[in-house]
Structure 1
Amino acid sequence: MGKYEMDFEKYKKAVEKVIQRFADRGWEEIRVEEIWFETSLPVDLILEVINQGISIPSEVNSITHGGKVVWKKEEQEI
């Protein structure tokens, strides 16, 4: 891994863990700002990790940022 390359795997695990905690509390919609508050990771990094693909519990229907949908459960999953 080069000097400036990032290991997204550890960030992916951190974001997934927080999303799972929210799902366990019954949250169906999660805001990126809430993930940021829990992890202290930069918002841009959280968005990049979500865009690269993460495991999202079935209880979660959507993830939003600034009023825009970043991730939404596919219709056949609902």
Structure 2
Amino acid sequence: MTMNISANLQSLFTWNTKQVFVFLAAEYETPKKPLNQISLWDGIIPSKDHAKFWIHTSNKYRFIDQQFAR
């Protein structure tokens, strides 16, 4: 899976903001469990100067639901 993430988080920074933690999560349903969540990406934005960004990334490992793991 590949992801293209673009964001402008500059408005989150005020005089008292040191850094911002961000993450991208997905939710999905299975027959046995109505709510499943997985973290797809996370990062730390260290300053307002870095808060406008574009990321192209691919996962290193396959996502496997433990219900179906062998």
The answer to whether TM tops 0.5 is: no
The structure where helix makes up a greater share of residues is 1
Higher strand share: 2
Larger Rg: 2
TM-score (norm 2): 0.28
TM-score of the superposition, structure 1-length normalised? 0.27
